[in-house]
Amino acid sequence: MKFDNINRVRRVIVVVSFVVALLIGLGVALGVSGGKPSGAFAGLVAGLICAGIAYFISVALIGRGFKGKFKREIIAPLVTQIAPELTYRPNIGISSEEFLACGIYRGFDTYSANDLITGMVDGVWLKCSDVNAQKIVTKYDKKGNAKQTHITIFAGTYFVAKFNKKIKSATYVIDRANSQASAVGERAMMDNAEFEKTFATYTGDQINARYILTPKFMQDFLALRRAFGHPMSACFVDDKVHIFLSGTDHFEPNYLRAINSESLQRYRGEILALKNIIKTLNLSDDLFLEE
């Protein structure tokens, strides 16, 4: 895999963004200070803040095309190399209708999804994508002026896979660290203290919930939660398990770091981590699947 061309483009983006940020920062600093020594400190602080904001905005705008190039030329071949059974499409994701259908996240106003991966792992069908869902809230100050604020409902990876047991009633496993997730059904108290401390379980069928969440499955689910290190909720409905990994954003380029074989280890790890969900939760074992 050759990196010269894509690294050249990356360096141009960084240099141009730095120059733009520097010029804006200097302009703001001079404007705030008024050219007077007494205003130098305030000018410096304002200049640095504005320069930082300008840099990130500039990188986002100038690097828009680069991100697509990076995913086409670097990530797509990497997915094929590591997991040839999977298909990667960077510009599309799981639909908002399917995201809503599970019922864990509701009431969002904006939705975007990308980095869709689909295919079979050890005979188990799966798909996943990065998702960002936000709610727009209008707040009013003391003078009655309205201001809109975006609240993140979910930002992370949405993972769906065929489940290997018969699901008679929807069962929800909600991470206690995730304030935006919700569920329906009765509270189910599980016989695992660590699992209960980390998650709250809700179901419409107490017996089926325990059939789904066996002692081993709860241990494996906890292991997956520790491996990702982020809040993780799930629902089991129809014939699928839906897993919501908060705080993850896969396959994004780091503009400040050279792209080479060593730096690709991070992306290899991300691909393998998603693939290994099937193995960690033992979803390929269809011993208990009822026809």
Please indicate, yes or no, whether residues 94 and 56 belong to a single structural domain of this protein. no
Is the residue at 68 inside a domain? no
Please indicate, yes or no, whether residues 223 and 265 belong to a single structural domain of this protein. yes
Please indicate, yes or no, whether residues 146 and 37 belong to a single structural domain of this protein. no
Mean pLDDT of 253-268: 85
Please tell me what DSSP assigns to residue 187.
E
Is the residue at 227 inside a domain? yes
Distance of CA 237 to the CA centre of its chain: 22
291 pLDDT band, cuts 50/70/90, is: very low
Please indicate, yes or no, whether residues 115 and 238 belong to a single structural domain of this protein. yes
Please indicate, yes or no, whether residues 139 and 249 belong to a single structural domain of this protein. yes
Please indicate, yes or no, whether residues 147 and 25 belong to a single structural domain of this protein. no
What's the domain range around 105? 85-280
Q: Can you tell me the distance from the alpha carbon of 232 to that of 247, in angstroms, rounded to the nearest whole number?
A: 9
Structure tokens at 46: 């304002």
Please indicate, yes or no, whether residues 190 and 91 belong to a single structural domain of this protein. yes
Is the residue at 274 inside a domain? yes
Among candidate residues 86, 167, 122, the one with its CA nearest the CA of residue 283: 122
Domain boundary among 15, 30, 62: 62
**pLDDT by residue (tens digit) across 229-240?**
999 999 999 999
Please indicate, yes or no, whether residues 8 and 122 belong to a single structural domain of this protein. no
Whole-number Cα distances in Å, 95 to 36, 112, 156, 170: 56, 9, 14, 20
Is the residue at 78 inside a domain? no
Structure tokens at 186: 């009765």
Please indicate, yes or no, whether residues 268 and 186 belong to a single structural domain of this protein. yes
pTM of this prediction? 0.83
Is the residue at 155 inside a domain? yes
Q: Do 213 and 171 touch, CB atoms closer than 8 A?
A: yes
Q: Can you tell me the distance from the alpha carbon of 123 to that of 137, in angstroms, rounded to the nearest whole number?
A: 44
State the helix-helix crossing angle for 4-33 and 40-62, rounded to 10 degrees. Answer: 150
Q: Can you tell me the distance from the alpha carbon of 169 to that of 50, in angstroms, rounded to the nearest whole number?
A: 53
Is the residue at 185 inside a domain? yes
**pLDDT by residue (tens digit) across 214-229?**
999 999 999 999 999 9
202 vs 29: which has the higher pLDDT: 202
Q: Do 68 and 55 touch, CB atoms closer than 8 A?
A: no
Please indicate, yes or no, whether residues 30 and 127 belong to a single structural domain of this protein. no
Is the residue at 71 inside a domain? no
Is the residue at 80 inside a domain? no
Tally of CB atoms within 10 A around 59: 20
**pLDDT by residue (tens digit) across 73-127?**
899 999 999 999 999 999 999 999 999 988 899 888 999 999 999 999 999 999 9
Q: List, in sequence order, every residue forming a beta bridge with 125; answer none if it has no partner.
A: 120
CB-based burial, 12-43: b 16+ in 10 Å, e otherwise = ebbeebeebbeebbeebbeebbeeeeebeeeb
Domain count, the chain: 2
Among candidate residues 238, 251, 275, 285, the one with its CA nearest the CA of residue 120: 275
Please indicate, yes or no, whether residues 202 and 91 belong to a single structural domain of this protein. yes
Structure tokens at 184: 């329906």
**pLDDT by residue (tens digit) across 36-69?**
777 778 888 888 999 889 888 888 888 778 888 8
Q: Can you tell me the distance from the alpha carbon of 210 to that of 216, in angstroms, rounded to the nearest whole number?
A: 11
Is the Cα torsion angle 280, 283, 285, 289 positive or negative in sign? positive
Give the burial class of 163: count Cβ atoms within 10 A of its Cβ; 0-12 exposed, 13-18 middle, 19 or more buried: buried
Please indicate, yes or no, whether residues 193 and 55 belong to a single structural domain of this protein. no
286 pLDDT band, cuts 50/70/90, is: low
